[in-house]
Amino acid sequence: MITLYGIPNCDTVKKARVWLDSHALPYTFHDFKKAGVPADRLAAWTQAVGWEKVLNRQGTTWRKLDPALQASVVDAASAQAVMREHASTIKRPVVEWGDSTTVGFSADAWAGKAP
């Protein structure tokens, strides 16, 4: 089963959902804004792909954080603490494909996932 994590109004999440629908891939959508960030899944993602890839340092939410808080992010534990508190600092979408995890959307990278 595919689980797509993100926020519904994110343009990249919208593109990802359209791509999954157009390839007839059933999925469950987990809305960070309504359901929060599952701490166990966040730990699994950072272990699978690295906290540097999961943490979105390019987004508005990150740029608005206090510089001292930004500077305190130096490892997986500190990054996860910030991402749990500020869900919008997680690069979107995060997709659990069952046997693998991807962060971000790329039609080319996802092509191998379609039947």
Q: Which CATH superfamily is domain 2-113 in?
A: Glutaredoxin (3.40.30.10)
The tens digit of pLDDT for each residue in 16-48 reads 999 999 999 999 999 999 999 999 999 999 999
Domains of the chain: which residue ranges? 2-113
Residue 55 CA to residue 63 CA, distance in Å, equals 12
Residues labelled as active-site residues = 10
Class of residue 108 by CB neighbours under 10 A (exposed 0-12, middle 13-18, buried 19+): exposed
Does residue 107 surpass a pLDDT of 70?
A: yes
- Return mean pLDDT, the chain: 95
Q: Return the bridge partners of 31, or none.
A: 6
SS3 100: coil
